[in-house]
Copies of this chain bind each other. A is one copy, B any other.
Amino acid sequence: MNSYIHGLGAKAKAARKTLALLDTAQKNAALEQIAKSLLEPQNRELIKAENAKDLELAQTAGKSAAYIDRLTLNDSRIDAIVEGVRQVAALPDPVGVILKKYSNADGLKLTKKRVPLGTIGIIFESRPNVTVDAAVLCFKSGNTCILRGGSDSINSNKALANIMREALGGQLQDAVCLVEDTSREVAAQMMKMREYLDVLIPRGGEGLKQIVLENSTIPVIFAGGGICHVYVDGSADLDMAVSIVDNAKTQRPSVCNAIETVLVHESVAEEFRAKLEKHWSGKVEIIEGEYETEFLELKLSWKTVKSIDEAIEHINTYGTTHSECIVTKCSENAAKFQSQVDAAAVYVNASTRFTDGFVFGLGAEIGITTQKLHARGPMGLEELTTYKYLINGEGQIRG
């Protein structure tokens, strides 16, 4: 048992009580206090100075330009972080909502009420903005949190966490706890702290997620990778299909709701291929096979299929149940595809790139889960809550 991380667990658990005393206006005021603190000139300079330390280490270690970019905090990114805090403050409070109210045969009055989960553990990699994004989503939904970022962004994370903690002040500061010891041993201990953590959310690459999955005894909300598909049906508007495939593949190829494979009905395969190649003129490499690979780059797998059934079968075999799309004019095929494809988001005639908490109207997003338990697809504030039953009687006992 590691006393450092268990001490942090106990603090985060104790802070639930202080946080629970705040009403919506008080929580929003605390979030505005965080926003203001992040904007204070000396704090902005501190963030950039600490971030510079992380950047220097990353450069010395010869990290890639994309990696350095993800790690960088400059003025516009700090402004974006603050904007995010204020957006969360403006969202409706999910806590305290009555989900159901009824009496039963025993004359008991039951109320099913939405409450925070408790304490949420977030394990993430190099993006320091997650420190603030995750903390404020947890805070608004009434949860305290323990944040464990990577060692490569520890200086930036510390600066951001300290500014938030000071803004919260007093006992409330432990609503946001940062794991400053970024050793693997401490992370491993954290994944077993069922007495302090109600859920663990890993945010990062597949390697990190597999480690959490294999080692955590705490319930995990798992955002699997995105092997997503567009199926171009025999009846598809092929110009629309080109537009959707282009958007889903090229608008941002590195994200989970971008597609990896296009499945095309044999009756339109030749014509569609010609249109697509003309549109891209070499911009995207089209290959056959490698259906189990998430390319995350300008590479697309092609498969010609004999039927919609073959397409559905392929998707249910190789897909990661994230986002899937059919382009079709046939309403029967559309309905069949939406019913039989097993995925969080199943599209008819629209790009898979729309799978996102903001787009779906959740207001914000802590991640997209490909698991089926608790929440599926984009997760917003409501998805960071649970419920409890309040039962009021007049002395009833069970017969």
Q: Report A's interface with B, CB cutoff 8 A.
A: 16-17, 20, 102, 104, 106, 108, 110, 117-118, 194, 198-199, 213-214, 217, 219-222, 237, 240, 243-244, 246-248, 251, 334, 338-340, 342-351, 353-355, 359-361, 371-374, 376-377, 386-398
Closest 7 CB pairs of A and B: A350-B393, A247-B397, A353-B398, A372-B386, A374-B374, A240-B395, A373-B374
B371 touches A376 (CB 8 A): no
Q: Give the contacting residue for A346; candidates B354, B389, B397; CB below 8 A.
A: B389
Contacts of A361 in B (CB 8 A): 102, 104, 110
**Given A350-B395, A360-B104, are A372 and B117 neighbors across the interface (CB < 8 Å)?**
yes
Cα A194 to Cα B355 with chains together (Å): 23
Closest chain B residue to A241, Cβ basis: B395
- How far is the CB of A91 from the nearest CB of chain B, in Å? 16
Contacts of A390 in B (CB 8 A): 338, 346, 348
- How far is the CB of A280 from the nearest CB of chain B, in Å? 15
B345 touches A199 (CB 8 A): no
Q: Give the contacting residue for A396; candidates B214, B220, B351, B372; CB below 8 A.
A: B351
Contacts of A102 in B (CB 8 A): 361
Closest chain B residue to A356, Cβ basis: B398
- How far is the CB of A193 from the nearest CB of chain B, in Å? 13
Q: Give the contacting residue for A391; candidates B20, B244, B350, B371; CB below 8 A.
A: B350
Interface centre among A110, A237, A395 (most CB of B within 10 A): A395
B106 touches A373 (CB 8 A): no
B251 touches A398 (CB 8 A): yes
B104 touches A372 (CB 8 A): no
Closest chain B residue to A387, Cβ basis: B376
B247 touches A392 (CB 8 A): no
B251 touches A372 (CB 8 A): no
Cα A353 to Cα B351 with chains together (Å): 51
A17 touches B388 (CB 8 A): no
**Given A347-B393, A351-B397, A398-B353, are A219 and B219 neighbors across the interface (CB < 8 Å)?**
yes
A340 touches B17 (CB 8 A): yes
- How far is the CB of A239 from the nearest CB of chain B, in Å? 9
Closest chain B residue to A342, Cβ basis: B118
**Given A219-B371, A221-B373, A373-B198, are A344 and B391 neighbors across the interface (CB < 8 Å)?**
no
Contacts of A372 in B (CB 8 A): 117-118, 198-199, 219, 386
Contacts of A389 in B (CB 8 A): 344-346, 355, 360, 376-377
Closest chain B residue to A214, Cβ basis: B217
Cα A237 to Cα B240 with chains together (Å): 72
